[in-house]
Structure 1
């Protein structure tokens, strides 16, 4: 950490190029992904796919995304993010095309589930943030993470209403083809994050990957970070996948669901930036505990207040402010505690826990609805998990790990 009162080093031109290119890549990849919940009703009716099956396909997508992420992250740590982003974008677009031509749940599972799930490991947060984290000064790192994370929200704000407009004007198949074309734009943007970024820290971060993994796995704070991020994944997948259908079930128009997802994205632009900026100045674990607790409060109030279009939009704005603020704070803690050399790999493992939570959030919500005709039990679980995640983050030790006979951490 920098000395008190010392001026923060300015970001280099190369750092700004990487931050902005990474933000646009995440804008496209996450913006398209956050529109998937809009397809539940029209796609389900066309292919006769029930909510449990659709939820399981999206859950499998999240799980594959998470399982592959540590390996893709380790490869990016060694070779850079550019080539990985190109491959990820190509497979992502292919997955959307396969889903667009699906005739049944199997084709949907191959496209939406397997291909998209595998592809996203290469062109979303962990790989991009790993590259950015190695090139920006420590004092600006969490803020830079927040800017890139905000890109995912800006994409959600732009893409979700556009996808709903296309669904209303044409059909879900053509809409998926259009989204595939948008994802293909990531290929030229990958030039902005191409090349192996410098590895700061010298000997401090020079340990082999095996030693870094053993060190992290033996450190209790690593597992507390995993526990909190698991809850984040559960919340995001449940709300992102099932909120539009929940709103329609209550007799509100489909447009309200699309506006809600877009509003989540809009307010998360501000939220990601602010949580990232605050994380550069204050305790990251304290901010994470506060964020998770506020999520629980937001859901509780949403359930108590009579449901209407205004109440949905207020909830969406509130939850949006809390949506992905966890990403710069969690990745910032991984970098702060464990160093930079294996940032993408270690953050990828933490992200795997996020995706396990996402798997359960997307799938179990469908199971609960098909069994009871209601999402109430999942909403209540979301409240409890929010407060549990808040408690889990409080014991985290934020100090860099002390490594014998090594240069002190920055």
Structure 2
């Protein structure tokens, strides 16, 4: 631990951290529901909307590195408060942006910064510092499951808000709801960051980064996470429009996204629990191979509401279940001293994939009139990610002074 004082209560940590992830991830998972209302009302192309969300994911990834550094140094609370304020401003800006540039600054830059400060890199840093190694993967699974429950809870809620209030007022209401993360953040105050007490570290930031980026397993985890980002954000943002193009009602897409969230509660919890018993690389490889197979069957099967719901349920089990084993592997290999920062760098790779997934979805749709090519790319990347995770070495890295601390 980084402080001689008692760590946070596990129950307090999971409730407050899980609730923050529920709100932050839940809100952003519904952004695909706004694609058609906003582009139709503003007269914009799908590529315009997709580019803003792509910038959001890229900004999230880049900002996540610095959010992780600040959370490691100053504690999570200050980072979460700033992130929450950016979230509220970004949602209100989305509602009233008159031009694509302002929409990109609101939906892309502001909300990207907001998500960096209110999601996994920051929350998992607190978990890593306050939960023993023999429970860490399980606790991370609980937090990831909370994000999935947020999708199940918030996506249908967002659909109802759009249908009853209109897309603009719905965004304003969500901006107010996001502010609930500020009082929740106080439950994550860590004693070691309360005053002027210094945090003792065996490595500087530069040393930690040099060590990680030279280590092949870190590079392989980053490559797998890139694929995760490409797949989930393409599906999350473009699937509602894909289904409407195929003649299915908007409710089918809302229910499908909700099912992804519901079943991912099971998937992330199972992945976190299995990570205490199995090699994390085995879990990750299985998830990526299974995604490739699931997408292939979805495209080959006759499209109907039933096939969509089955696809959503299976993909839900696989959706964010990569998060606990990836982050638990990082903690196991490198220790917990710079965990938020290293998690932020791996997540940057995820967000570069997210950028390409959502942006290419819009570009190739506008160019080809369909999403077929992007689906095929997602399948091929799933096979690639399954293969690159197999050689990952999970043992704590050996340093001059011994093994990684906290692993």
Equivalent position to 1:246, from 235, 238, 242: 242
Once the two structures are superposed, the pairs formed by residues 221-300 of structure 1 within 5 Å of their partners are: 221-300=217-296
Task: Answer yes or no: is the 8 Å Cα contact 2:397–2:403 preserved in 1.
Answer: no
Deviation at 1:12, TM superposition (A): 7.2
Determine whether 1:151 maps to 2:150: no
Determine whether 1:308 maps to 2:331: no
Once the two structures are superposed, the pairs formed by residues 96-175 of structure 1 within 5 Å of their partners are: 96-175=91-170
Deviation at 1:398, TM superposition (A): 0.8
Deviation at 1:279, TM superposition (A): 0.6
Normalised by the length of structure 2, the TM-score is 0.95
Task: Answer yes or no: is the 8 Å Cα contact 2:83–2:118 preserved in 1.
Answer: yes
Deviation at 1:103, TM superposition (A): 1.8
Q: Which consecutive unaligned segments of at least 5 residues does structure 1 have?
A: 1-10
Task: Answer yes or no: is the 8 Å Cα contact 1:97–1:180 preserved in 2.
Answer: yes
Task: Answer yes or no: is the 8 Å Cα contact 2:80–2:117 preserved in 1.
Answer: yes
Deviation at 1:114, TM superposition (A): 1.2
Deviation at 1:197, TM superposition (A): 5.1
The count of corresponding residues between Structure 1 and Structure 2 is: 396
Question: Residue in 1 aligned with 2:196?
Answer: none
Separation in 1 of the partners of 2:401 and 2:90? 48
Separation in 2 of the partners of 1:145 and 1:47? 40
Task: Supply the RMSD in Å over aligned alpha carbons.
Answer: 1.6
Q: 1:394 to 1:305 in 2, by over 3 A?
A: same
Deviation at 1:104, TM superposition (A): 2.6
Normalised by the length of structure 1, the TM-score is 0.94
Deviation at 1:408, TM superposition (A): 6.7
Determine whether 1:362 maps to 2:358: yes
Question: Residue in 1 aligned with 2:190?
Answer: 195
SS at match of 2:65: helix
Separation in 1 of the partners of 2:23 and 2:254? 17
Q: 1:13 to 1:223 in 2, by over 3 A?
A: closer
Separation in 1 of the partners of 2:102 and 2:23? 24
Bigger mean CA offset, 245-254 vs 101-110: 101-110
Task: Answer yes or no: is the 8 Å Cα contact 2:145–2:265 preserved in 1.
Answer: yes
